[in-house]
Structure 1
Amino acid sequence: MLVQLSHVVKLALMLLVTIATGAVNIHSWMYIYDIYDFIRYLDYSYSVVPTRYLLTVMIIIMMMSFYYFARHVERQSRKLFLWKIEVHDQKEKVYEMRTYNEALVTNMLPEHVAKHFLGSKMRDEELYSQSYDEIGVMFASIPNFSDFYTEEGINNGGIECLRILNEIISDFDSLLDRTEFRHITKIKTIGSTYMAASGVTPESNTNGYADRKIEDQSILERWQHFADLADFALAMKVTLGNLNKQSFNNFMLRIGLNKGGVLAGVIGARKPHFDIWGNTVNVASRMESTGVMGNIQVVEDCYNILKEYGFRFVRRGPIYVKGKGELLTFFMKGKDKPVTKTTAVSLPHQIPDKS
Structure 2
Amino acid sequence: MLVQVSHLIKLGLMVLVITAAGAVNIYSWRDIYDLYDFMRILFSLVDSLSVLCLCVSRTSIVPSKYLMTMMLIVMMIGLYYFARHSELQSRELFLWKIGVHDQKERVFEIRRWNEALVTNMLPEHVAKHFLGSKKRDEELYNQSYNEIGVMFASIPNFSDFYTEESINNGGIECLRILNEIISDFDSLLDRDEFRCITKIKTIGSTYMAASGLTPESYTNGYSSRQPEDQSLIERWQHLADLADFALAMKVILNNLNKQSFNNFMLRIGLNKGGVLAGVIGARKPHYDIWGNTVNVASRMESTGVMGNIQVDCYGILREYGFRFVRRGPIFVKGKGELLTFFMKGKDTTNISGGPVITALPHQVGDFS
Q: How does 1:88-127 map to 2 (within 5 A)?
A: 88-127=101-140
- Matched residue, 1:68: 81
SS in 2 for 1:3: helix
- Matched residue, 2:234: 221
Residue pair 2:326, 2:341 contacting (<8 A) in 1 also: yes
Give the Cα separation in 2 of the matches to 1:22 and 1:340. Answer: 102
Letter in 2 for 1:46: R
Letter in 1 for 2:301: E
- Matched residue, 2:180: 167
Give the Cα separation in 1 of the matches to 2:136 and 2:318. Answer: 46
- RMSD of aligned Cα (Å): 1.6
The Cα of 1:215 is off from its aligned counterpart by 1.2
Give the Cα separation in 1 of the matches to 2:279 and 2:168. Answer: 37
The Cα of 1:131 is off from its aligned counterpart by 0.3
- Matched residue, 2:50: none
- Matched residue, 1:192: 205
- Matched residue, 1:258: 271
Q: How does 1:7-86 map to 2 (within 5 A)?
A: 7-42=7-42, 43-44=54-55, 46-47=58-59, 48-86=61-99
TM-score by length of 1: 0.94
Task: Pick from 335, 339, 344 the counterpart of residue 350 of structure 2.
Answer: 339
- Matched residue, 1:135: 148
Give the Cα separation in 1 of the matches to 2:302 and 2:142. Answer: 27
Give the Cα separation in 1 of the matches to 2:346 and 2:80. Answer: 87
Task: Pick from 324, 328, 336 the counterpart of residue 325 of structure 1.
Answer: 336
- Matched residue, 1:353: none
Residue pair 2:195, 2:216 contacting (<8 A) in 1 also: no
Q: Deviation string for 1:323-348 (max 9, x for gaps)?
A: 11111100000001112358x9xxxx
Give the Cα separation in 2 of the matches to 1:242 and 1:231. Answer: 17
Residue pair 1:187, 1:274 contacting (<8 A) in 2 also: yes
> Which 4+ residue blocks in structure 1 deviate beyond 6 angstroms?
none
The answer to whether the aligner puts 1:238 opposite 2:257 as a matched pair is no
The Cα of 1:16 is off from its aligned counterpart by 1.1
Give the Cα separation in 1 of the matches to 2:186 and 2:82. Answer: 66
Give the Cα separation in 2 of the matches to 1:52 and 1:214. Answer: 100
Q: Deviation string for 1:246-293 (max 9, x for gaps)?
A: 000000000000000000000000000000000000000000000000
SS in 2 for 1:274: strand
Give the Cα separation in 2 of the matches to 1:250 and 1:330. Answer: 24
Q: Deviation string for 1:142-165 (max 9, x for gaps)?
A: 000000000000000000000000
Task: Pick from 263, 283, 286 the counterpart of residue 273 of structure 1.
Answer: 286
Residue pair 1:256, 1:287 contacting (<8 A) in 2 also: yes
TM-score by length of 2: 0.91
SS in 2 for 1:89: helix
Question: Which shows bigger deviation, 19-28 or 236-245?
Answer: 19-28
The Cα of 1:56 is off from its aligned counterpart by 0.3
Give the Cα separation in 2 of the matches to 1:2 and 1:140. Answer: 75
Give the Cα separation in 1 of the matches to 2:341 and 2:252. Answer: 23
Give the Cα separation in 1 of the matches to 2:192 and 2:242. Answer: 12
Residue pair 1:207, 1:224 contacting (<8 A) in 2 also: no
Letter in 2 for 1:275: D
Unaligned segments of structure 2, at least 5 residues: 43-53, 357-368
The Cα of 1:183 is off from its aligned counterpart by 0.4
Letter in 2 for 1:84: K
Give the Cα separation in 2 of the matches to 1:259 and 1:2. Answer: 77
Residue pair 1:207, 1:221 contacting (<8 A) in 2 also: no
Unaligned segments of structure 1, at least 5 residues: 345-349, 351-355
Q: Deviation string for 1:156-201 (max 9, x for gaps)?
A: 0000000000000000000000110000000000000000000000
SS in 1 for 2:190: coil
Pair member with larger Rg: 2
SS in 1 for 2:271: strand
Give the Cα separation in 2 of the matches to 1:41 and 1:261. Answer: 110
